[in-house]
Amino acid sequence: MLVEIPSIRSSSTAAVNPTLVPRIPMPAGDIPVIGLGTFGSDHVSHEAAAEAVLGAATAGYRHFDCASVYGNEKQIGNAFRQIAHGGVSRHDLWINSKVWNDRHEPYDLIDSCMRSLDDLQLDYVDLYFVHWPFPNFHPPGCSVDSRSPDAQRYIHANFMKTWEAMEKLQEIGLARNIGTSNMTIAKLDLLLRDASIKPAANEMELHPHFQQPALFDYVVGNGIVPIGYSPLGSPGRPERDRAPEDTIDIEDPVIVSIAKAHGVHPALVCIKWAVQRGQIPIPMSTNPRNYIANLRAVVEDPLTSQELESIAKIDRNCRLIKGQVFLWEGAKGWEDLWDLDGVIVQ
């Protein structure tokens, strides 16, 4: 799954020919190796996110990562309509969406997908995810200490009912591919054992300081495409997800040194590393200079094998999106969400 980046170098901020962006085969269609994230966190309006989608499509992006919980799919749908009117065919676009935690019941899940399609002004999505493997809800903008009294631990029998509804979405053509997000090896083991249709992709936190080598290798080894959120170390993540012990990828001396050698911002080193490693980064930016630079990073001036090896050595196991707000009564801490001992926490 390793992706080759051409050896040309350019400082241009001009648009990128989308046919130059490599794609990875999926069960249905080929997914571009970089996407634009649309999670605006606490500081990007829905309108600004939609404007970024429109600008990114003009710049050459064809892959967009959406979700119902982001609250901006209706505005982004208007951008997709404008993109289509501008001459970009639906066949050339790759669009993801996700079902939120409070819609895991089969009827609710199918209804949520149909609502997303209506908001996005689409007949189908290319990839539909279960956003988190827990049916645990929290209100928007809540504090890190917020807990729902109805929160549950992972219950595999319940998740399989959710997954069977996902399989139904694929069977009836509302989702060309289906995937998981924020899963662990222990949970994926059970899903792969019991599913009729295995996940085509797993979306997970991936950046140089959190490389998740065991999960990454497991996903790839099972023919599942790894999609990495927070590829730059999530500098724009919500305040509730920040902790004093968090590290900053783009300030790492190794990343900074490689960036200087290539004459680019350290963020672009993170993007190049992700693509060349074989994962699909989905950075979010509303700044045209930044999202064009991110896209250009995957079509020119690759990192050397020595640089890739250097980055492999700076993993700090620093999870930034810990998920505390999804904890259930009796859980000891955020670690219980992630099955760190290889066993699903009961």
Residue 245 CB neighbours (<10 A): 6
Angle at 321 between CA 320 and CA 323, to 5 degrees: 140
Measure the CA–CA gap between 284 and 302, rounded to whole angstroms. Answer: 21
307 vs 112, 260, 262, 302, 318, CA distance in Å? Answer: 43, 12, 11, 10, 21
Q: Collapsing DSSP states into helix, strand and coil, what is residue 52?
A: helix
Q: Are 265 and 17 in contact (CB under 8 A)?
A: no
Distance of CA 99 to the CA centre of its chain: 13
Q: In what order do the strands lie in the sheet with 225-229?
A: 36-37, 63-65, 94-99, 127-130, 178-181, 201-205, 225-229, 280-281
Closest CA to 130 of 216, 69, 186: 69
How is residue 105 written in tokens? 């019941």
Q: How far is CA 291 from the centre of its chain?
A: 16
**One-letter amino acid for residue 248 of the chain:** I
Q: Which residues are catalytic?
A: 70
CB count within 10 Å of CB 152 equals 14
* H or E stretch at 220: helix 213-221
| Cα–Cα dist 56/92, whole Å | 14
Tokens of 228: 């990495």
Residue 311: closest CA among 245, 252, 248: 252
